[in-house]
Amino acid sequence: MIRTRVARVERTTEHFLTVTLTGEELAGLEFLGLDQCTRILFPRPGQDTLNMPATGDDGDANGWVAEFRAMPDDRRPHVRNYTIRRFDPEALELDIEFVAHGDEGPASAWALSARPGDELGLYPEGVYYLPTEGTDWHLLVGDESAVPALLSILEQAPADLRGLAFLEVPSPDDVRPVRAPAGVEVHWLPRTDAHAVPGRLALETVRAAELPEGRPYCFVAGENALPTELRRTLVRERGVPKDDIAFIGYWRHGVEAYP
Ligand SMILES: Cc1cc2nc3c(=O)[nH]c(=O)nc-3n(C[C@H](O)[C@H](O)[C@H](O)COP(=O)(O)OP(=O)(O)OC[C@H]3O[C@@H](n4cnc5c(N)ncnc54)[C@H](O)[C@@H]3O)c2cc1C
């Protein structure tokens, strides 16, 4: 468990907010890069301090979960999953890019009103992007919630990586420059229908796409239907071995992540 505070908040593009966190406890972070995720813990409305469970002292890395569940409602923080977008070990700064999807989600609402000095807890976890040996090219697909993970993966990719990346975003104003290897074709997919369920556009686009020959390693993340349905298509219609696909449901349309 790492206690941090907000250093600054920047509007990255129309629907993305970059929150830069700082704090001495970040010196203990084991930074893995790529799509490394972290639980974030933040106060519920009406709570004026961030109550964090201690990490299990009994050697059980998830010991905090039991402690968290046992906390009374008026003390228990909100918890959500986010990607560590950037970490600077010298400056002890860490960025998280929040999709600003309105006030109905507590994490989005928190980010929209975050101010310097606000506290945020982190419980860093691992990566899902684990390319298998012997693949010829990469297929990277996500909706806006996976844009931070996809951009980090592309920025850290080896220079000779070949492949296709599809990044669906809420609007044309969310398209931005990407640092990617020359052999990766990056396709931004801005939605034009404000009521469309995120992920559908990427799903239909990749289903209809002409894909390169050879064996791909696939990483698909976003609203739950995108990774689950695209995985089915890749396995059944494109003959991709299941082990060569990382598919992660980042959120569910119409469903709150945790109570
Ligand atoms: C490993 C992992 C990494 C992730 N990394 C990031 C990241 O870097 N940045 C990021 O923004 N998200 C990321 N997510 C997704 C994020 O955890 C969810 O979007 C989360 O549900 C947001 O919490 P909330 O409190 O805002 O909304 P919730 O309380 O969970 O949901 C409230 C309502 O908002 C809807 N909703 C939730 N998320 C979105 C969304 N993105 N767009 C539109 N509607 C939504 C829900 O369907 C629900 O109706 C990641 C998820 C995982 C599992």
The model's confidence at residue 56, banded by pLDDT at 50, 70 and 90, is low
CA 250 to ligand 1 center in whole angstroms: 7
Closest atom of ligand 1 to CA, residue 99 = 11
One-letter identity of residue 235: V
Average pLDDT of span 161-168: 98
Question: What's residue 46's pLDDT?
Answer: 85
Residue 235 and residue 242 in contact, taking contact as beta carbons nearer than 8 Å: yes
Residue nearest to atom 34 of ligand 1 (CA): 105
Q: How confident is the model at residue 58, as a pLDDT?
A: 56
Please state which architecture CATH assigns to domain 2-124: Beta Barrel (2.40)
Q: Calculate mean pLDDT across residues 101-112.
A: 97
Predicted pLDDT of residue 60: 65
**What atom of ligand 1 comes closest to residue 81's alpha carbon?**
17
pLDDT at 176: 98
pLDDT at 73: 85
pLDDT greater than 70 at residue 50: yes
Q: Is the CB of 35 under 6 A from ligand 1?
A: no
- Contact at 8 Å (CB) between 23 and 3? yes
Q: Where are the beta strands (DSSP E) in the chain?
A: 2-13, 16-22, 37-42, 78-83, 86-88, 93-99, 119-124, 137-142, 163-169, 184-190, 216-223, 245-251
Looking at ligand 1, which atom is closest to the CA of residue 257? 30
pLDDT in tens, 237-252: 999 999 999 999 999 9
Architecture in CATH of 137-251: 3-Layer(aba) Sandwich (3.40)
pLDDT at 27: 98
Contact between 164 and 246 under an 8 Å Cβ cutoff? The reply is: no
CA distances 257 to 116, 145, 212, 244, Å, are: 26, 13, 36, 27
- For the chain, the structural domain boundaries read 2-124, 137-251
- How high does pLDDT run on average in the chain? 95
Question: What is the mean predicted confidence (pLDDT) over 78-97?
Answer: 98
Confidence of residue 121 (pLDDT cuts 50, 70, 90): very high
Q: What's the 138 CA to ligand 1 centre distance in angstroms?
A: 25
pLDDT band at 8 (very low <50, low <70, confident <90, very high): very high
- For ligand 1, whether the C-beta of 124 sits within 6 Å is no
Cα-based distances in Å from 236 to 215, 232, 233, 242: 14, 6, 5, 10
Within 10 angstroms of residue 204's Cβ, the number of other Cβ atoms is 13
Separation CA 10–CA 20 (nearest Å)? 8
- For 77, phi and psi rounded to 5 degrees? -80, 165
Ligand 1 touching residue 182 (CB < 6 A): no
Q: Answer yes or no: is the C-beta of 257 below 6 A from any ligand 1 atom.
A: yes
pLDDT level of residue 57 (50, 70, 90 thresholds): low
The answer for residues whose C-beta is within 8 angstroms of residue 208's C-beta and 6 or more apart is none
**C-beta 256 within 6 A of ligand 1:** yes
User: Which residue's C-alpha comes closest to atom 49 of ligand 1?
Assistant: 254
pLDDT tens per residue, range 124-163: 999 999 999 999 999 999 999 999 999 999 999 999 999 9
